[in-house]
Amino acid sequence: MKWKMSTQWKFALAIMVIGGGALAGEYFLVKWYPYYQGYRSNKVLNLLPYQNADLGIQMQVAAGIYGKVDDFPGGVRIYRPRIFGDGASLTLTSQANPGHNDEFSPQLLAQWETKGTYQNIADYRFEHTKIQNRDAVMIWQSRGPSMLLTAHIISADHIVEANCLPGSADESLYLNACESSIQTIKVAGPPPRLKPEPGVLELKPVKPAGGKRK
């Protein structure tokens, strides 16, 4: 005579299987997922060297962005293609600095700072900073479904613009990759002129008056 499993036994077995799966999933999330996240972050943020003499640029690009390199007149696009969705990309352009100033003008800085307000750009954030000892500006703003990070960097020889999109994957992680890459940009040119500290007078040597001593 065949023994048939009762409904109660089937129900109990289902509870055991589901409960065991839930415990296994919880164990994976608690024990192994943080390690996976750390491994993935390190893999994306690992910096790789890149240099372009024509643009006057030397830098390091995060591995999560550094895939293919497409040159175009006056610039280059570095990106990592994805099968599904948009991958992260970094576009760099460079132009000669005809005025040979090593700082952006106050008028241009004011335009960048107020652009978000006047043009009603969502999530607009402006920061006047230094990148590898060069005068620079970094701007965050919404661009479609993701953020766009733009940097302007100036030397006496070159004016460089960098535009970085994190793509459609983990925006926070890949935006971090954009920021860490841009912070490494070194622009060719003479070092910036040193400014005297506020309140300190710059003394110049005085030439002796003409005439012969007796």
pLDDT of residue 101: 95
**pLDDT per residue as tens digits for the range 60-72:** 999 999 999 999 9
Q: Which two tokens stand for residue 139?
A: 């701007």
What is the pTM assigned to this prediction?
Answer: 0.76
- What's the CATH fold of domain 47-187? Protein Transport Mog1p; Chain A (3.40.1000)
List the chain domain ranges: 11-45, 47-187
CB 101 within 8 A of CB 154: yes
| Rounded CA Rg of the chain | 28
pLDDT of residue 40: 76
Give the amino acid at 138.
M
Q: CA-CA distance, 55 to 156, in Å (whole number)? A: 14
pLDDT of residue 214: 45
pLDDT of residue 9: 54
pLDDT of residue 13: 59
pLDDT of residue 85: 73
Residues of the chain with confidence (pLDDT) below 50: 1, 213-214
